[in-house]
Amino acid sequence: MPKSIIIDPETVFRRDTIHFSDIPVNAYGKMPQEEIETYTSEDLLSLWRDMCAIRKFESILNEIKLKGTCEGVTYNHAGPAHLSIGQEAAAVGMAFQLTPDDHIFGSHRSHGEILAKGFSAIRHISDERLLEIMKSYRDGALLRPVEKNYQGSVRSLALRFFIYGAYSEIFARETGFNRGLGGSMHAFFAPFGIYPNNAIVGGSGSIAPGAALYKRVNRKPGIVVANIGDASFGCGPVWEGITFSAMDQYRTLWDKALGGGLPIIFNCMNNFYGMGGQPLGETMGVQFIARIGAGVNQEQMHAERVNGYDPLPVIDAFRRKKQLLAEGRGPVLLDTVTYRISGHSPSDASSYRSKEEIELWQQADPIAAFRTKLTANNVATEDELSSEKADVEALISDMFRLAVDLEASPRVGPDSDLVSSVMFSNRHVELFDDRPPEFLQDLKDNPRVQQIRGKIRTPKHDGKAVPKMKAYNIRDAIFEAMLYRFSADPTMIAFGEENRDWGGAFAVYRGFTEALPYHRLFNAPISEAGIVGAAVGYALEGGRVVAELMYADFMGRAGDEIFNQLSKWQSMSAGQLVMPVVLRISVGAKYGAQHSQDWTALANHIPGLKVVFPVTPYDAKGMMNAALGGTDPVVFFESQKIYDYGEMFVEKGVPEGYYEIDLAQPSIKRKGKDVTIITFGPALYTAITAADELSTLGLAAEIIDLRTANPLDHDLLIESVRKTGKVLLVSDAVERGGVMQTVAANLTQFCFDALDAPPVVVGSRNWITPAAELEGLFFPQPAWLLDAIHERILPLKGYKPRTNQTLEELARRTRLGV
């Protein structure tokens, strides 16, 4: 149902003041004795061990990177090592409370967070389950090297397994968590609740909210922690993720039984530096990251600054904040103060900070300070602590030596097709969860479903063309495919700007508002990065999602999320994770330079995305069905010019039942023998008009609609071009660097011997898109197609060109860059 939130001017214009509450800074004030009562000695010892383990892990990397030799091993580690020496207490404090159901996302400097979370998970998981994970994870590939001749307990085996997996990943070995395809900055291990870490700093800020959304929508236990560096709070996507997480609707409009606000903690690992830039005093003005919470919602995100140089205040804060999240009062912002004693990377000359400052923080070293705390409070003796430290350090050293050994821990071979094999998952998943899908009404009663039932799905009716109002159109086709998946898969959700009450900006979703509860279809803030990022997070957790960008021109606003996140996590996980996201992107017209651009080329350029652009109802339904049944990210372009077009090509019409179209296959829309015209997008209809005129000149054009840019099976194209010997490629994208240039280049190679002339590409001018009244100068017109054929492929008898499509003109334009 549409919502009804009335804004009353009388209330809005009433004199008032905005009140803020105080934000606690280092409020933790428990005495050591009180804490000794909260924790068992073993708990406190585990914190000690974990911190020592992280320090040792990172110190080895520092040494091998700097000197090329460590622990008697000589090795050149070519990749990055962003170390967190100094940040151990913040990491173990963050992880101590978390169970494997609690998921962390992080950044390039996440080794410490990964290790702390893994150690904590190993403590939380039963021996049976640990064994199950180790044996099943990549069929025991990580387990085999560490269990050889090992007689210890399951728990210590799990520690070996985990540390080994982390080192192997960093050294790009087959035996790494992600077969070395993630590496140091992206390592993760989902079975322990460790989710992708992002080398695009702040990247987790837009993704982690989607993971929290998944938990809420699908009633899954646990919280989500987004660990983000202080300097990365300057990143737009972090703000967008926060905005997405703090929407009122979770608590005001959504079913209360779902649990309220998103269960997420934005945890700032505040070490006071970017690389060399300083948020405090230089690059930001906020002074305390915790202050940001005050601008977000009335509860100020329950923001607080805590001392992350001691694990106990951090644990205390996480315990309290987890309680808030359980009460549905998220999101939370924590400003966890720590310090990076190590450089940004081992090559860092620390030119941006003084030796004195580093020494001050070294004197306050969190590990040494904790040692003193434990001995002063009689938790353990110096000898006991030294012995614990020695044991865990020996374990780290052993696993380092094993992981660095190329024989025990090989890289994928040069002939391996591993990377190709994981770029796409290419699976079909009917449903990601087996609970019944939720609807608000019986779909038979849905007004849109009823309306569509009365529409005509064939090109002709009673021998006549179907009037627009009666034709089953592209909007209907997308609606129908999505409705099928909403009915099949309870995890399927859709969101974007104006998706709900408005009916989708272009009315595709009209009818869904009545049918679906808020948590399955909702309006997102105007946060394109937040929208696509949340879709990525939702999918990484195992749910299916359709996100929408209102105009292709807004892709830049979600650039990182489309180009680096949506596209990459399947392959960086070496196929452990899937990405069942359909990103609907509408291509505009008539709205000028910033609302009318076909940016298929941008998506097509990025490895890891499927890129389709159906332009008939039959294709739209079949391709949306395929996209929504698959497990890969599909960028699904739609054209605003033709949303209301009925089916003109498939005589039998658009089936009411379910069918899929192979996302790699182009489609012949008109048969012909003299010249092949390949189109992508609504230029299909331009080509049809041009082909009609060509036929009056005695030429039969074969028209092939590409439908997909990637993947793309060229067979049909090759067959046609070999038959005609001539090919023109047309789309509404600007001519330079477009999808058609790639196809033309490929066809030149595939069909060189059969071509009478080089393939010719006609696109829009390399301009801004001008005003609606001038669009005819910009988008390819039917005459341009004939002119291009006449000038560059086959002179047409008695034909007089109407525009200048000569090679001289092409040369002139390229010289000018227009």
Ligand X SMILES: Cc1ncc(C[n+]2csc(CCOP(=O)(O)OP(=O)(O)O)c2C)c(N)n1
Q: Does 109 bind ligand X (CB under 6 A)?
A: yes
Out of ligand X, Mg ion, none, which partner does residue 1 contact, by CB within 5 to 8 A per kind? none
Q: How many residues bind Mg ion (CB under 5 A)?
A: 5
Query: Of 111 and 610, which has the nearer Cβ to ligand X?
Result: 111
Judged by CB under 6 A, the residue of 97, 184, 232, 499 near ligand X is 232
Query: Of 231 and 290, which has the nearer Cβ to Mg ion?
Result: 231
Gap between the Cα atoms of 784 and 789, Å rounded: 8
Among left, alpha and beta (phi > 0; psi -120 to 50; other), residue 213 is: alpha
The Cα angle at residue 385 between residues 363 and 59, in degrees rounded to 5? 55
Q: How many residues bind ligand X (CB under 6 A)?
A: 16
Give the position of tokens 């993630």: 182
Q: Positive or negative CA dihedral for 768, 771, 774, 776?
A: positive
Judged by CB under 6 A, the residue of 53, 60, 83, 199 near ligand X is 199
Which residues 340-359 are close enough to bind ligand X by CB under 6 A? Answer: 340, 344
CA distances from 434 to 125, 430, 492, 668, 725 (A): 25, 10, 12, 39, 53
**DSSP-derived pairing of the beta strands 610-612 and 708-710:** antiparallel
Reported as half-sphere exposure (CB side, CA atoms, 13 A), residue 457 has a value of 16
Out of Mg ion, ligand X, none, which partner does residue 199 contact, by CB within 5 to 8 A per kind? ligand X
Structure tokens at 652: 């039998």
753 in helix, strand or coil?
A: helix
Which residues 197-236 are close enough to bind Mg ion by CB under 5 A? Answer: 229-231
What does 756-802 look like in DSSP terms, one character per residue? SS--EEEEE-SS----GGGGGGTS--HHHHHHHHHHHT-PPTT---S
Quick count: other Cβ atoms within 10 Å of Cβ 445? Answer: 10
Quick count: other Cβ atoms within 10 Å of Cβ 147? Answer: 16
Find the shortest distance in angstroms from Cβ 105 to ligand X.
Answer: 14
Query: Of 340 and 568, which has the nearer Cβ to ligand X?
Result: 340
Which residues 684-713 are close enough to bind ligand X by CB under 6 A? Answer: none
Of 153, 145, 151, the residue nearest 122 (C-alpha): 153
Find the shortest distance in angstroms from Cβ 272 to Mg ion.
Answer: 6
Out of ligand X, Mg ion, none, which partner does residue 232 contact, by CB within 5 to 8 A per kind? ligand X
Give me the 316-345 binding string for ligand X, x by CB under 6 A, dash otherwise: ------------------------x---x-
Kindly indicate which of the ranges 198-206, 240-248, 320-328, 689-697 contains the residues binding ligand X, using the contact rule CB under 6 A: 198-206
Judged by CB under 5 A, the residue of 198, 218, 271, 473 near Mg ion is 271
Query: Of 173 and 344, which has the nearer Cβ to Mg ion?
Result: 344
Find the shortest distance in angstroms from Cβ 233 to ligand X.
Answer: 7
Out of ligand X, Mg ion, none, which partner does residue 120 contact, by CB within 5 to 8 A per kind? none
Sequence letter at residue 473: N
**DSSP-derived pairing of the beta strands 264-270 and 332-337:** parallel
Helix ranges (DSSP H) in 454-589: 474-488, 512-515, 528-540, 559-560, 569-572
Catalytic residue flag (residue 595): yes
Per-residue H/E/C for 106-140: EECCCHHHHHHHHHHHHHHCCHHHHHHHHHHHHHH
Of 170, 153, 168, 3, the residue nearest 81 (C-alpha): 170
Query: Of 308 and 646, which has the nearer Cβ to Mg ion?
Result: 308
Find the shortest distance in angstroms from Cβ 46 to ligand X.
Answer: 25
Which residues 392-421 are close enough to bind ligand X by CB under 6 A? Answer: none
Gap between the Cα atoms of 475 and 624, Å rounded: 11
Kindly indicate which of the ranges 195-203, 469-477, 482-490, 652-660 contains the residues binding ligand X, using the contact rule CB under 6 A: 195-203
Find the shortest distance in angstroms from Cβ 227 to Mg ion.
Answer: 11
Judged by CB under 6 A, the residue of 176, 196, 229, 543 near ligand X is 229
Of 35, 92, 32, the residue nearest 308 (C-alpha): 92
Out of Mg ion, ligand X, none, which partner does residue 769 contact, by CB within 5 to 8 A per kind? none
Residue nearest to ligand X (CB): 229
Question: Which member of 77, 82, 186, 595 is catalytic?
Answer: 595
Query: Of 47 and 91, which has the nearer Cβ to ligand X?
Result: 91
Gap between the Cα atoms of 22 and 366, Å rounded: 28
Find the shortest distance in angstroms from Cβ 85 to ligand X.
Answer: 12
Kindly indicate which of the ranges 269-277, 349-357, 398-406, 718-726 contains the residues binding Mg ion, using the contact rule CB under 5 A: 269-277
Find the shortest distance in angstroms from Cβ 582 to ligand X.
Answer: 26
Out of Mg ion, ligand X, none, which partner does residue 109 contact, by CB within 5 to 8 A per kind? ligand X
Kindly indicate which of the ranges 144-152, 225-233, 506-514, 758-766 contains the residues binding ligand X, using the contact rule CB under 6 A: 225-233
Gap between the Cα atoms of 63 and 335, Å rounded: 30
Find the shortest distance in angstroms from Cβ 340 to ligand X.
Answer: 6
The Cα angle at residue 712 between residues 708 and 714, in degrees rounded to 5? 120
Query: Of 122 and 185, which has the nearer Cβ to ligand X?
Result: 185
Q: Does 274 bind ligand X (CB under 6 A)?
A: yes
Find the shortest distance in angstroms from Cβ 568 to Mg ion.
Answer: 23
Query: Of 108 and 544, which has the nearer Cβ to Mg ion?
Result: 108
Contacts 24+ apart (CB under 8 A), 769-774: 769/592, 769/593, 769/595, 769/596, 769/597, 770/592, 770/593, 771/592, 772/589, 772/590, 772/591, 772/592
Residue nearest to Mg ion (CB): 229
Give me the 234-273 binding string for ligand X, x by CB under 6 A, dash otherwise: -----------------------------------x-x-x
Find the shortest distance in angstroms from Cβ 363 to ligand X.
Answer: 21
What does 470-502 look like in DSSP terms, one character per residue? GB-BHHHHHHHHHHHHHHH-TT-EEEETT-STT
Judged by CB under 6 A, the residue of 56, 65, 103, 108 near ligand X is 108
| Whether 611 contacts 635, CB under 8 Å | yes
Gap between the Cα atoms of 229 and 774, Å rounded: 48
CA distances from 455 to 470, 513, 654, 726, 751 (A): 5, 21, 11, 39, 43
Out of ligand X, Mg ion, none, which partner does residue 627 contact, by CB within 5 to 8 A per kind? none
Find the shortest distance in angstroms from Cβ 602 to ligand X.
Answer: 18
Helix (H), strand (E) counts: the chain: 29, 22
Judged by CB under 6 A, the residue of 157, 166, 200, 301 near ligand X is 200
Query: Of 198 and 499, which has the nearer Cβ to Mg ion?
Result: 198
| β-pair partners for 266 | 226, 333
Q: Does 49 bind ligand X (CB under 6 A)?
A: no
Q: Which residues bind Mg ion (CB under 5 A)?
A: 229-231, 271, 273
Q: Which residues bind ligand X (CB under 6 A)?
A: 108-109, 199-201, 229-232, 269, 271, 273-275, 340, 344
Positions marked active-site: 595
